């Protein structure tokens, strides 16, 4: 599946597959607050303008989010903008991190998403291929 890179920051990326309307966030290494805000706010713009209605969170290479990034994601992004935009998202695939600490952060974020946005159709995967297959098996809103 072809994705266009929208932005790359500190090894993490925001990509889009326009044909399938999929927004893909690739986290890598230790993610700072600035990187999390830049990528997730821009991603929110793609959801808000209805360019995309499916999200893949690829956390295979994630080591951890900085403390301030975790707090911002949980207390600001998820409870505010993500919750408002959730009606524009048909599904979210979450690829689990490979490192032990990354897996802990992955599970914490997955749990927060499920708790704050309970009606969002989500599924966790171990690979990008599995996530892509699931994404393309469900029609977009458009």
Domains annotated for the chain, with CATH where assigned, are: 4-137 (3.30.750.24)
| Tens-digit pLDDT profile for residues 2-38 | 999 999 999 999 999 999 999 999 999 999 999 999 9
Which pLDDT does position 142 carry in this prediction?
Answer: 56
Phi-psi region at 21: left, alpha or beta (left = phi > 0; alpha = psi -120 to 50): left
Helix (H) or strand (E) holding 59: strand 54-65
Contacts of 14 (CB under 8 A, 6+ apart): 5, 6, 7, 8, 23, 24, 25, 26, 39, 42, 43
Q: How far apart are CA 26 and CA 49, in angstroms?
A: 21
pTM of the entire structure? Answer: 0.90
Which run of H or of E encompasses 46?
helix 33-48
Across the range 112-135, mean pLDDT stands at 87
Express each pLDDT in 60-105 by its tens digit. Answer: 999 989 999 989 988 898 888 888 888 889 899 999 988 888 888 7
């Amino acid at each position: 599946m072809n994705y266009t890179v929208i932005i790359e920051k500190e090894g993490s990326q925001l990509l889009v597959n326009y044909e399938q309307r999929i927004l893909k966030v690739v986290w890598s290494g230790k993610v700072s607050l600035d990187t999390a805000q830049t990528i997730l706010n821009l991603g929110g713009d793609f959801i808000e303008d209805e360019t995309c209605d499916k999200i893949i969170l690829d956390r295979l290479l994630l080591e951890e989010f900085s403390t301030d990034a975790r707090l911002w994601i949980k207390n600001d992004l998820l409870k505010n903008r993500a919750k408002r935009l959730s009606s524009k998202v048909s599904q979210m695939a979450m690829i689990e991190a490979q490192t032990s600490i990354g897996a802990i952060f992955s599970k914490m974020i997955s749990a927060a998403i499920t708790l704050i946005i309970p009606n969002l159709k989500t599924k966790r995967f171990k690979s990008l291929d599995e996530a892509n297959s699931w994404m393309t098996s469900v029609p977009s809103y458009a």
